[in-house]
Amino acid sequence: MPQIKSAIKRVKTSEKSHLRNMSYKSKVKSTIKKFALALSEKKKEESNKYFKDTVSILDKAVNKGILPKNTASRQKSNLTKKLNTLIKSEQIKMSAPAAPKEVLETQEKPIVKKATKAAKKPVTKKPVVSKKKTDKAKEKPVVKKATKAAKKTKTKKAKS
């Protein structure tokens, strides 16, 4: 137990925020479970409703600092994928009318020829040409300029 007054206050506030965060996290989890239940029952309207609720609760949790941004975005992405699979499966069921068995048996599958790839030409590497230093650098004599300190010493020697 802390003895300092400010430390005691920090413990109390951290407990309050912990309880608030836990209740909000359980709210997020329960809405995700409701969404999953609606998905498993394949109820499109209910799952859309719970999806919107879940996304808004996740965004609020991020704004309040309860959940990290990447965690919420990952959860939203996973929920979106699940909802899209439900929607696509319903669209496929509605768009494809049931064909009679006689028609399915008479249709033959077309023969698909595999495309052959053209042979690639082997890649030849060009020889590396190393650049040699030219003799121009050797021809130029290096001339050092006299510094001010060197000039002073020369003048003193000349005077004495």
pLDDT tens digits, one per residue of 118-158: 667 777 777 776 666 555 555 556 566 666 666 666 555 55
- Tell me, yes or no, whether 29 lies in a domain: yes
> Is 128 domain-assigned?
no
Q: What does the pLDDT look like over 113-126, one tens digit per residue? A: 666 766 677 777 77
- The parent domain of residue 36 ranges over 10-92
pLDDT at 103 over 90: no
The answer to whether the beta carbons of residues 65 and 97 sit under 8 Å apart is no
In this prediction, residue 107 carries a pLDDT of: 64
Look at residue 127 and tell me if it is in a domain.
no
In-domain check, residue 124: no
What is the helix (H) or strand (E) element at residue 109, kind and residue range?
none
Q: Is the pLDDT of residue 5 over 90?
A: yes
> Is 33 domain-assigned?
yes
- High-pLDDT (> 90) share of the chain, %: 49
Q: What is the CATH number of the domain that holds 36?
A: 1.20.58.110
Distance, in Å, from the CA atom of 78 to the CA atom of 81, rounded to the nearest integer, reads 5
- CA 21 to each of CA 4, 11, 26, 55, 96: distance values in angstroms, whole numbers, following the listed order: 26, 15, 9, 17, 48
Please tell me the total count of domains within the chain.
Answer: 1
- Give the C-alpha separation, 159 to 141, whole Å: 31
Question: What is d(CA 70, CA 8) in angstroms, rounded to the nearest whole number?
Answer: 33
Q: How far apart are CA 38 and CA 47, in angstroms?
A: 5
Helices (H), the chain: 5-40, 44-64, 69-95, 101-106, 136-139, 148-159
pTM equals: 0.55
14 lies in some domain: yes
